Amino acid sequence: MTDKNFLTFSESDWRERLDPASYQVLREAGTERPGTGRLLNEGREGTYACKACGTVLFDAGTKFDAHCGWPSFYEAKDGAVSFIEDRTLGMVRTEVRCAACDSHLGHIFPDAPQTPTGNRYCMNSVSLTFVPADGGDVVEG
């Protein structure tokens, strides 16, 4: 990421703001176990925001079932995310981070031909907060 104008806190501030599972994913680039996320089967209209800072990342209308075990989206909000080459685990992937606070969200893959963009944003539930359009209860992943 070349623009470093994102929201920053000290690591101790992040630890206070986030539960341990969210901290491990958002700040240490961890991954939750597939099929375990609270937002995997969320199907209501609304938006998905970064759990760390509240930046809106995805519209619920871009969510689809990729059968991969994590919430998947085919398009992010303009300017909401940044991309970084990830060469961990012996693979070359593209990491997706929140553009506002530089938190790890998941990865993007160009393997979704059934979507308008062909992309699959494979996101960790614990990195997201779902805000329903009907004003109902917010759900943290």
Residues annotated as part of the active site: 122
Nearest to 87 by CA among 95, 76, 79, 75: 95
In which region does residue 99 sit, left (phi positive, over 0), alpha (psi from -120 to 50) or beta (all else)?
A: alpha
Tokens of 131: 């805000």
Residues 70 and 58 sit within 8 Å (Cβ to Cβ): no
